[in-house]
């Protein structure tokens, strides 16, 4: 059965008391965290390599309610189980102070290595310094730490590269079309580099389609529905549409259906979630570009595993970003396909 070690910390003085107890009795372990009913099913992996005895890794999470971060954390633990490494997870992180307390907790437990789900680039510098002073190597995921941070490796999708690859996909499928772009929140550290990479490739390819509208959202379904409906009602012509992720495309898809435009528009989105794969099979979506939270979590573990076994991991992992259409949808790795993501990363060596 999948084992989780979860330490609940209350106040700073409570933490100090916890550390004292941990120092007196090293064999004490936190209780197993119950598996939530909404969590995706995970296939138990078979061990393929002899573990380095006694390794314990810490994993500091952030935004635990999101499917992306949840699957990434599950994948980290899945990879750890594959080689017999124990994981102490700091769960339900909701603010930066929690991440600092989480780091103190793991340092007090004297874990062998720590992975950090990035909250802010600036905080990453502080956390890496805390770990350095304790002699514990760290890796980061889902973002690039600020200047001065010291780390073993980074596991994150390069959003500028993702923008470039998305543009290349749309230049093929939207050629000669008038396109509406439905994007995430403006100014975010994800959106801006994505848009920079997108426009570079779009211009380099000679602008093979016309961008007739760019609408920003809060990444949610309802907002995407509203901005798509407003654009349709404005009377501006378009015959291609791109939504930044699957939940946003769900709103855009509803608007297209309501307006009778489903079969008159070329439809694309980003993400590669299971629902998007179903839309590809049904003809309600023409193409998507898949990027996997499971690959991110496995890569985060892989960097620490390689380092602890005397190997030099990539400074930053080149995580897979795969265009998908109805022609290759049946061979595409789904978000919850741990083995598929593992194979795309070439294992743990």
- For the stretch 297-337, pLDDT in tens is 999 999 999 999 999 999 999 898 999 999 999 998 889 99
- Ordered domains of the chain (ranges, CATH): 5-151+293-319 (3.40.50.2300), 159-291 (3.40.50.2300)
**Residues 241 and 268: beta-carbon distance below 8 Å:** yes
* Distance, CA of 216 to chain centre: 21
182 has pLDDT over 70: yes
25, pLDDT greater than 50: no
In this predicted structure, the answer to whether residue 48 has a pLDDT above a threshold of 90 is no
Share in percent of the chain as helix, strand, coil (round to 5): 45, 15, 40
pLDDT at 194 over 70: yes
pLDDT-based confidence at 104, cuts 50/70/90?
very high
pLDDT tens across 244-302, in order? Answer: 999 999 999 999 999 999 999 999 999 998 999 999 999 999 999 999 999 999 999 99
Q: How confident is the model at residue 53, as a pLDDT?
A: 52
pLDDT by residue (tens digit) across 124-167? 999 999 999 999 999 999 888 999 999 999 999 888 999 999 99
Q: What is the mean pLDDT of residues 101-122?
A: 94
Average confidence score pLDDT of the chain: 85
Confidence of residue 26 (pLDDT cuts 50, 70, 90): very low
The residue ranking higher by pLDDT, 1 or 191, is 191
* Residue 95 pLDDT level (bands cut at 50, 70, 90): confident
Question: Is there a contact between 239 and 264 (Cβ–Cβ < 8 Å)?
Answer: yes
Are β-strands 287-291 and 321-324 bridged in parallel, bridged antiparallel, or unpaired? antiparallel
The backbone torsions φ and ψ at residue 269, rounded to the nearest 5 degrees and listed phi first, read: -155, 180
Q: Cβ contacts of residue 86 below 8 Å, gap of 6+? A: 3, 5, 55, 56, 57, 80
> pLDDT class for 65, splitting at 50, 70, 90?
low
Question: pTM for this one?
Answer: 0.73
Q: What pLDDT does 250 receive?
A: 96
- pLDDT category of residue 242 using cuts at 50, 70 and 90: very high
């Amino acid at each position: 059965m999948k084992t989780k070690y979860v330490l609940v910390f209350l106040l700073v003085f409570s933490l100090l008391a916890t550390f004292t107890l941990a120092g007196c009795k090293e064999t004490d372990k936190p209780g197993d965290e119950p598996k939530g009913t909404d969590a995706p099913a995970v296939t138990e992996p078979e061990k393929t390599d002899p573990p380095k005895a006694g390794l314990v890794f810490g994993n500091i999470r952030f935004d635990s309610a999101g499917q992306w971060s949840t699957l990434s954390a599950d994948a980290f633990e899945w990879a750890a189980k594959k080689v017999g490494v124990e994981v102490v997870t700091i769960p339900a992180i909701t603010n930066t102070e929690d991440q600092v307390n989480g780091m103190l907790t793991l340092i007090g437990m004297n874990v062998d290595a720590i992975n950090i789900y990035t909250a802010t680039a600036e905080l990453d510098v502080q956390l890496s310094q805390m770990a350095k002073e304790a002699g514990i190597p760290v890796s980061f995921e889902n973002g690039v730490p600020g200047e001065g941070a010291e780390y073993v490796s980074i596991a994150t999708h390069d959003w500028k590269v993702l923008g470039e690859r998305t543009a290349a996909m749309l230049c093929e499928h939207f050629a000669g079309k008038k396109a509406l772009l439905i994007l995430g929140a403006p100014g975010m550290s994800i959106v801006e580099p994505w848009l920079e990479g997108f426009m570079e490739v779009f211009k380099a390819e000679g602008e093979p389609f016309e961008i007739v509208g760019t609408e920003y959202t809060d990444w949610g379904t309802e907002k995407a529905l509203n901005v798509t409906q407003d654009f349709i009602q404005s009377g501006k012509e378009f015959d291609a549409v791109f939504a930044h992720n699957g939940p946003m495309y769900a709103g855009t898809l509803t608007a297209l259906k309501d307006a009778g435009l489903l079969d008159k528009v070329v439809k694309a989105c980003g993400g590669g979630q299971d629902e998007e794969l179903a839309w590809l099979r049904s003809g309600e979506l023409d193409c998507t570009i898949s990027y996997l939270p499971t690959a991110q979590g496995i890569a985060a573990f892989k960097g620490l595993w390689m380092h602890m076994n005397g190997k030099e991991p990539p400074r930053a992992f080149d995580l897979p970003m795969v265009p998908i259409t109805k022609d290759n949808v049946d061979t595409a790795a789904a978000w919850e396909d741990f083995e598929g993501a593992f194979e795309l990363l070439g294992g743990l060596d």
